[in-house]
Amino acid sequence: MIKACLNGDRHPQARPRVPVTPDELAQAAADAVEAGAFMVHVHPRGDDGLETLETRHVVDAVTAIRARTPGLRVCVSTRAGILNAQRRTLAHVSEWPSPDLGGPDCASVNWHEPGAVEIAEALREKAIGVEAGIWTPRAATAFVSTNWPWQVERVLVETIPGVTPGSDGAWAAERILAALGMSAAPVLVHGEGRWAWPVLRWAQASGYDVRIGLEDTSVMPDGSAPRDNADLVAAALRSEPGTPSQWPVPDPG
């Protein structure tokens, strides 16, 4: 299955244009689902176009997406870089309503970031699912040392050049998965930047769920520019997994 990551922290004026407003996110989500995505991951934006965790903006984005695509599962981010303040992040997340009152269905929590467990607990109290973002083998080891592997909705194995140890995305993903061991929750594997397509193909061939969208890459498998997120999702579905030597896709983003 493919999750579509619609915008991330990319600049609103990036090319192809990144969806920012609730209406833009709703359209992008609907298009991605039509192309084959089973759920979406979004970073709500404020009036200034920047990422935000403020309740009204989170609810506006989630509500708009649900109105356009009823029943679609919507995930948001809690990454530390949005506010750069652990207490403020926790305060905002604690204010979010439950999914039945307009809150997101789930939210990703990067396990290497300060306050991850507290943020996950706040989400659980609101009946919001937790996706554990695991970027490194060390984070995987910390994660499995808690009781959270049995409480999360999904484990996200995320490989990021320059952050995740290793010079090859698939090798980096394998190291994280080895540290995780047998997961009690479904595992989704994805890469960012120049690792996005190689890791996606490796993960598909290995039987894992995957993720693609403008948050992860701004290029198609052949290096051309996609029109939008739906283009990326469609490309992920129609191209057959090959061998690593067939995936040398650069990414300027």
pLDDT single digits (tens) 35-65: 999 999 999 999 999 999 999 999 999 999 9
CB 108 within 8 A of CB 78: yes
CATH class in words for 2-246 = alpha beta
Token match 């809150």: residue?
A: 103
Q: Which percentage of the chain shows pLDDT scores above 70?
A: 94
What the block records as the tokens of 73 is 């599962």
For the ranges 96-100, 183-187, 195-199, the lowest mean pLDDT is seen at 183-187
Sign of CA dihedral 159, 165, 168, 171: negative
pLDDT of residue 246: 43
Q: Rounded mean pLDDT of 153-169? A: 96
pLDDT single digits (tens) 103-132: 999 999 999 999 999 999 999 999 999 999
DSSP 194-213: GGHHHHHHHHHHHT-EEEES
